[in-house]
């Protein structure tokens, strides 16, 4: 993944050239990870680019900041316009969008004191997170020796910069052992999530996923997958999952904005089900891509078109 040639970045209210979008090295967020971010995708549709579940992502952005005691000083309307203006300025058809807000330069010391709140948004082309082959054939996952931090240690439902150190340890360790992604257990040995994805398992035609109690980020793609699968006629249940649920599953997949819907074909060298993308995963994945690409009217309300003339 590189940043392509995206020319513009939105910073504190205006578009600035990519190379000029800098912040000072004394920023609190750099030293302590005191920031929050989002990952959003914009997809190509027959009516031009459309951002997937933009308002839900921005709502989570505000909610994550609130957990850490700061207020993002722009309204939902302003950030919505910022995202669509930025995509248009960069002339992108499909892209990944990364809003970030953090404690800026003012003072150091763990308490952020009166550090100013900075906000920036990037947008650039980002293909399949776990490879296009991964989307089709599935990926190889390992159980991480690193545990997902418990929600009593840091709020797992917030998407905060410093929290990702836990994911970084897990993904580096998994890559070093030749796997595509890490799966983290929670402190009670239940399945939590991937370094950047939520988990689903399928057994006897029923789809299962875990929930906030299992120390996960409440993924917006997770929510979309649940809704889409139900609309396609599948039963979906949320409950805590054990390692045995995954080992014995017929199929499994990860969800995330970056990862989209990625099948899991192997866990620590053991095939999951047939060891390839299973039929339920393929059906949910294909319905998901129809929804994000504007080909399914049932989910039209999830798309924010850059072309304002296209009714949602
Ligand atoms: N759990 C974690 C830990 C996570 O980081 C993500 C998204 C999810 C679940 C799924 O959330 P959602 O995107 O709302 O469905 N991870 C983002 C960052 C990935 C990155 O490498 O950076 C993403 O997918 O954009």
What does pTM read for this prediction?
0.97
What is the distance between the alpha carbons of residues 187 and 162, in angstroms, rounded to a whole number? Answer: 19
| Index of the ligand 1 atom closest to the CA of residue 198 | 9
Asked whether residue 68 is assigned to any structural domain, the reply reads yes
* 39 CA to centre of ligand 1 in angstroms: 7
Average pLDDT of the residues in 161-176: 98
| Index of the ligand 1 atom closest to the CA of residue 220 | 14
Same domain, 21 and 69: yes
Same domain, 78 and 152: no
Same domain, 143 and 287: yes
Residue 312 confidence (pLDDT) above 70: no
What residue owns the CA closest to ligand 1's atom 9? 197
Same domain, 237 and 267: yes
Asked whether residue 2 is assigned to any structural domain, the reply reads no
Asked whether residue 249 is assigned to any structural domain, the reply reads yes
How far lies 276's CA from each of 225, 235, 281, in Å?
19, 22, 10
Predicted local distance difference test score (pLDDT) of residue 245: 98
Q: Over the stretch 204-257, which tens digit does the pLDDT of each residue have?
A: 999 999 999 999 999 999 999 999 999 999 999 999 999 999 999 999 999 999
Q: Over the stretch 220-230, which tens digit does the pLDDT of each residue have?
A: 999 999 999 99
Same domain, 219 and 119: no
Same domain, 112 and 139: no
Residue 1 confidence (pLDDT) above 80: no
Mean pLDDT over all residues of the chain? 96
Predicted local distance difference test score (pLDDT) of residue 142: 98
Same domain, 34 and 101: yes
Q: Which runs of E-coded beta strand occur in the chain?
A: 8-11, 14-17, 35-37, 40-43, 50-52, 95-103, 117-124, 139-143, 181-185, 191-194, 198-203, 206-209, 236-238, 251-256, 260-267, 270-271, 303-305
* 163 CA to centre of ligand 1 in angstroms: 12
What residue owns the CA closest to ligand 1's atom 19? 196
What residue owns the CA closest to ligand 1's atom 6? 196
Same domain, 276 and 240: yes
What is the distance between the alpha carbons of residues 67 and 63, in angstroms, rounded to a whole number? Answer: 6
**Does the CB atom of residue 198 touch ligand 1 within 6 A?**
yes
Q: Which among 63, 89, 124 is the end of a domain? A: 124
Asked whether residue 260 is assigned to any structural domain, the reply reads yes
- Domain of residue 231: give its range: 132-292
Enumerate the H helices of the chain as residue ranges. Answer: 28-32, 54-67, 76-89, 132-137, 164-176, 220-231, 243-247, 279-292
Residue that the structure tokens 């970030």 belong to: 100
Predicted local distance difference test score (pLDDT) of residue 131: 85
CATH code of 58's domain: 3.30.470.10
**Does the CB atom of residue 219 touch ligand 1 within 6 A?**
yes
Same domain, 173 and 277: yes
**Does the CB atom of residue 193 touch ligand 1 within 6 A?**
yes
Q: Which among 71, 105, 124 is the end of a domain? A: 124
When divided into structural domains, the chain yields a total of 2
* 184 CA to centre of ligand 1 in angstroms: 14
Same domain, 164 and 254: yes
What residue owns the CA closest to ligand 1's atom 16? 196
What residue owns the CA closest to ligand 1's atom 20? 196
Average pLDDT of the residues in 304-308: 93
Q: Which among 103, 124, 145 is the end of a domain? A: 124
Same domain, 72 and 53: yes
Predicted local distance difference test score (pLDDT) of residue 309: 81
Picking from 13-17, 126-130, 264-268, which range would have the lowest pLDDT averaged per residue? 126-130
Predicted local distance difference test score (pLDDT) of residue 5: 83
Q: Over the stretch 45-55, which tens digit does the pLDDT of each residue have?
A: 999 999 999 99
**Does the CB atom of residue 255 touch ligand 1 within 6 A?**
yes
Residue 166 confidence (pLDDT) above 60: yes
Same domain, 107 and 138: no
CATH code of 280's domain: 3.20.10.10
* 182 CA to centre of ligand 1 in angstroms: 13
| Index of the ligand 1 atom closest to the CA of residue 221 | 15
Residue 130 confidence (pLDDT) above 90: no
The percent of residues in the chain predicted with pLDDT above 70, rounded, is 99
Active site members: 159
Residue 99 confidence (pLDDT) above 90: yes
Asked whether residue 311 is assigned to any structural domain, the reply reads no
Average pLDDT of the residues in 252-273: 98
């Amino acid at each position: 993944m590189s940043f392509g040639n995206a020319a513009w970045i939105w910073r504190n209210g205006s578009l600035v050239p990519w190379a000029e979008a800098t912040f000072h090295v004394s920023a609190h967020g750099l030293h302590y990870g005191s920031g929050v971010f989002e990952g959003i995708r914009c997809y190509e549709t027959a009516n031009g680019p459309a951002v997937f579940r933009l308002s839900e992502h921005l709502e989570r952005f505000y909610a994550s900041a609130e957990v850490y005691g700061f207020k993002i000083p722009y309204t939902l309307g302003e950030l919505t316009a910022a995202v669509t203006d930025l995509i248009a300025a960069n002339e992108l058809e499909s892209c990944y969008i990364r809003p970030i807000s953090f404690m800026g330069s003012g003072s150091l010391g763990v308490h952020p004191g009166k550090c100013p709140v900075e906000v920036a948004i990037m947008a650039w082309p980002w293909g399949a997170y776990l490879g296009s082959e991964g989307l089709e054939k599935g990926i190889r996952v390992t159980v991480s020796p690193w545990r997902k931090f418990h929600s009593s240690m840091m709020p797992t439902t917030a998407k905060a910069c410093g929290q990702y150190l836990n994911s970084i340890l897990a993904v580096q360790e998994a890559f070093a052992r030749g796997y595509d992604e890490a799966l983290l257990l929670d402190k009670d040995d239940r399945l939590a999530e991937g370094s950047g994805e939520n988990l689903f398992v399928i057994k006897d035609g029923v789809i299962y996923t875990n929930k906030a109690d299992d120390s996960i980020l409440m993924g917006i793609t997770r929510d979309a997958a649940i809704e889409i699968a139900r609309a396609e006629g599948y039963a979906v249940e949320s409950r805590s999952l054990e390692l045995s649920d995954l080992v014995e599953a017929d199929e499994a997949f990860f969800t995330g904005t970056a990862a989209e819907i990625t099948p899991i074909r192997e866990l620590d060298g053991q095939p999951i089900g047939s060891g390839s993308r299973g039929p339920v995963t393929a059906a949910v994945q294909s319905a998901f891509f129809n929804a994000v690409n504007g080909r399914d009217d049932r989910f039209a309300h999830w798309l924010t078109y850059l072309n304002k003339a296209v009714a949602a």
